[in-house]
Amino acid sequence: MLEKFKDYLRVKAGLTDEQFTAISGKLKTRKIAKGTILLRQGEVCHHSFFVSSGLLRSYTIDTAGKEHIIQFAPENWMITDRSSNYFNEPSELFIDAIEDTEFILVTNEFIDAAACSSQSFQRYDNRALHNHIRHLQSRVSLLLGATAEQRYLDFIKLYTELTLRIPQWMIASYLGITPESLSRVRKELAHKNFKPY
């Protein structure tokens, strides 16, 4: 399972196999069943999760008990609560498994050790942080000002292959619209683009 993460870091962060092997003892691999909760609201998040197979998500639950999905993490994605982890504060998020999932528990010790041994990793880590901020800015702006269709088009660009794995209500929750609105968007797109045979 570590192989996938090693490949990922070689390609994305320029971490050599030797550098990886020297610090890979700071990583742990886990296998969990669909529905397993990895982080609960109120807990402090101490790691990142790298998904090697399966699918994780992060979400909040509002005072009325409704879930709002923040992020999906399929294979080769990382997911965590960055602010809880960095500031050592209780998290507002839940993270759980939508499918049976194998993941790597990436400890802060691993990140620190990788940054010490590789400048290229430092640049990657910095870029990953700014990419995260860019993504959040774009999410805020879409949620405040975009139509349901624009939000859906943004979703399928980012998560092209997830539309067949995730139930409709979860996509709607991520987009901040009702499942009925999502159906309407899809119906309208089909109306524009479907050429019946």
Considering only 16-24, 73-81, 135-143, 184-192, which stretch makes contact with other proteins by CB under 8 A? Answer: 184-192
183 belongs to the binding site for other proteins (CB under 8 A): yes
Considering only 25-33, 93-101, 125-133, 183-191, which stretch makes contact with other proteins by CB under 8 A? Answer: 183-191
147: Cα separation from own chain's centroid: 23
186 belongs to the binding site for other proteins (CB under 8 A): yes
For 149, residues 6+ apart whose C-beta sits below 8 A from its C-beta are 185, 188, 189
Q: How far is the CB of 185 from other proteins (least distance, A)?
A: 9
Considering only 36-44, 52-60, 78-86, 163-171, which stretch makes contact with other proteins by CB under 8 A? Answer: 163-171
CA neighbours within 13 Å on the CB side: how many for 105?
14
At residue 147, the 3 state secondary structure works out as coil
DSSP string, 96-124: EESS-EEEEEEEHHHHHHHHHH-HHHHHH
- Say how many residues touch other proteins, by CB under 8 A: 19
163 belongs to the binding site for other proteins (CB under 8 A): yes
